[in-house]
Every structure is written in structure tokens, then in C-alpha cells.
Structure 1
């Protein structure tokens, strides 16, 4: 059986809690929309991939929704971000201390979200320091679920896919990683917690 020597973690709904449904409804209400049009989804994706600056991103929204202020746009964008349970910090700190695995964070995120997290999650730097590599989509210009983001991580760290376990709450993301031979745990954030990683995936360890 392959030996897992590398753990790759998503950030949102794995470590920090998200309110995806609430954020979606809040934005639809604010923008007075029934659904998000393709151009908005495309802009959000570009921003998440670091292919558009925060200034350009906010300018797009204020141009398209002139009734809204920049701060209203930012608040709506950050509405999704919630609490970061301390036991998850303790879990990753213990993993880092034990030094049994290479630890990598791989997150689809953006400058505004990370700025909010740095301001509100007081132990962000302590959390970040637990990882050997800390990859944020807007920094590396790559985004899940595209295969090239996983290939980037494997190549940069000279990893074999069968030696890696990737934890993500989005099935599309774990499916594309699995297609490359990476072991995956598609965590159900409504009833599972990352701190139970080894109990839930004991067949791999």
C-alpha cells in the first residue's frame, strides 16, 4: 500500500467556517438579482486567480451597481467568512510539531478575503507557520478544480500523487485531484471535522 507522506488541505470549511448559502443570499438581495449572471461569476473567478487587482474588482462592481458603495461591496464579499475554531489550530500545530508529514495548504481565495482573515483571525500567522507550503490561488494564478493547480503542487514539491492526501469540502475539487491519482477526502463540513482526519481515513494510514 502507498505511504501517505504529504497532507494537502483546503482552507475554507476545512479550517475556517464559511456561510456559502448565507453569503449567496445576502449578495443576491443586495444586488437585487434573482441569480448571478455569467459575467459576475467570470469576474469573481478572475479575481480569485489573481488576474485582476482588488481595485479593478471593486471598480467593476461599483460601475455595475452604482447604488452601492465600495464598503458595501467589500462587506458583501466578506460575508461568507465566519469563525476559525481553536481546536483546528491545535490540530495543525500538533501535526507540524510531530513532523510526520509534509503539510501544504491549497486554497481558492483572494486578496480581500485574506486581508479580512489577517485582521479577524488573530492567530493567522501562527496557523500559516504550520505549513511547509502555503498556496493561495490569487498568489499562484492557478485555481481549483483545474488540473494544473495540482500538477503545480506535485511538481514544485517533487511529490508522487499516491503519497498525498488532499482534503477539500468541494467535490469538484477532490474529483479532479483524484483523477491525477491523489488520495482525497471530500469532507462534509456539516457533520465532519478536519480534527478527525485520522479516524475517518484510517484505511489510508
Structure 2
């Protein structure tokens, strides 16, 4: 990895589980309280219901998503209850990771590519701004969200879209994600990729403290 870091010019970060601390089980439990069970597939990756996937692909408005959730629930619930359950997984941006990105931007072009949705984006951008006093987008040359580009990782098309839109050479680009499937998708697109699986922290990866 040290040799790769010397060669690459661009780094594309995943968000949840890499820069933003998340706990999907909090959303699972919140939806269970509302009456929706088996939200996440075994192993903690991927959604069982298409409504979540369609939301992350930008195929649904916020209202259509909430109505889709209501169809899966045994009783009536408010928009705010659905949003709260959906956003329960989003926890915090550790300050040391923001500091790390500021250090890295002097050497690399930094990008973000996240499978997400409009409700989550509004929530975590507000969360970030309240904590740090500036826009999260300022950390990156550009941030890419699946619901805006209508493509989800790990599809080859999603990575090709980012590479083409940002005019990046895949052999000069490193992708970092906590999902092995997404890492494999980036490798299929010709990118260098690192699976952040908990054994190595971002600071250890870049040897910065």
C-alpha cells in the first residue's frame, strides 16, 4: 500500500464506516419498533426491501420513500418517525478524521462516493456543519452520492461515472471503503482499492496521527 500511496494522485473515500461513524443496527431496531423487521440482510450488508435500494438510486422522492415504508408497516406512522428511524444509524464525524483529510488534501485530490439518499444527506450535512462550522463538501474536490447519479456501488457503471465525471485516471486513483463488495467493484473499474475492515485505521493507513 505504501508504494500505491506514492503513485496515486486521487483518493475516493466512502462515507459511512470510513469517515462517518454508523451503526446500522440502530436503524434496524428503530424500524422494528415501528413494526418493520428484517431490514438488513444477514451479515449487516444490504437491504432486504427494494424501497431502500430505490431510494439510494434516486428513483423515489422523500415522500414516495416514506409512503413505501408505510406500506410495509402494520399501522400509521408520522413522517418524522420514519425519518428518525432511517437516520438513527448516522452517529458522528470523529474530529481526527477531518483533521486527517485536511492533511491529505495537500498531497492528493480528495473525492467522496457514498451509497446514500436525500434524507440522509440532509441529516449528515447538518450534523457536520453543526460540529465543525463549515460544509463537509469543502473537504473534497467533489462529493458523489448514489441517489444523485442514479447508480449504486458496487456496480461498474457507478465507478465509471465517477471516474469519467471527475476525469480521473483509475490507475492514479485509490478507493477506500468498508465494504468488500464495493472494493471489488472499484478494482473491476481499474482503480486501486483498500478494504477498511477494522484491522487498520485511516491514520494507520496513511501513517499520520
Coarse TM-score class (shorter-chain normalised): 0.7 to 0.9
Name the SS of the counterpart of 1:116 in structure 2. Answer: helix
2:64 to 56, 60, 74: 56
C-alpha displacement of 1:36? 6.2
* 2:13–2:176 CA contact under 8 A, matched in 1: yes
Aligned length: 197
2:181 to 148, 167, 172: 172
Q: Is 1:43 aligned with 2:51?
A: yes
Please list, as runs of the form range in 1=range in 2, the aligned pairs for 1:56-75 lying within 5 A after superposition.
56-65=64-73, 66-75=75-84
Larger RCO (CA within 8 A; separation ≥ 6) = 1
* 2:12–2:176 CA contact under 8 A, matched in 1: yes
1:16 to 16, 20, 26: 20
1:139 to 122, 145, 148: 148
Residues 35 and 6 (structure 1), Cα distance of their counterparts in 2 relative to 1, 3 Å cut: closer
Residue segments in structure 2 that go unaligned for 5+ positions in a row: none
Using structure 2 for the length normalisation, give the TM-score: 0.84
C-alpha displacement of 1:8? 0.5
Q: Is 1:108 aligned with 2:115?
A: yes
Alignment partner, residue 201 of structure 2: 193
For 1:17 and 1:104, the matched residues in 2 are separated by 18
For 1:188 and 1:25, the matched residues in 2 are separated by 24
* Range that drifts further, 160-169 or 33-42: 33-42
Name the Cα RMSD after superposition: 2.4
* 1:62–1:69 CA contact under 8 A, matched in 2: no
Residues 35 and 41 (structure 1), Cα distance of their counterparts in 2 relative to 1, 3 Å cut: closer
C-alpha displacement of 1:162? 1.5
C-alpha displacement of 1:124? 7.3
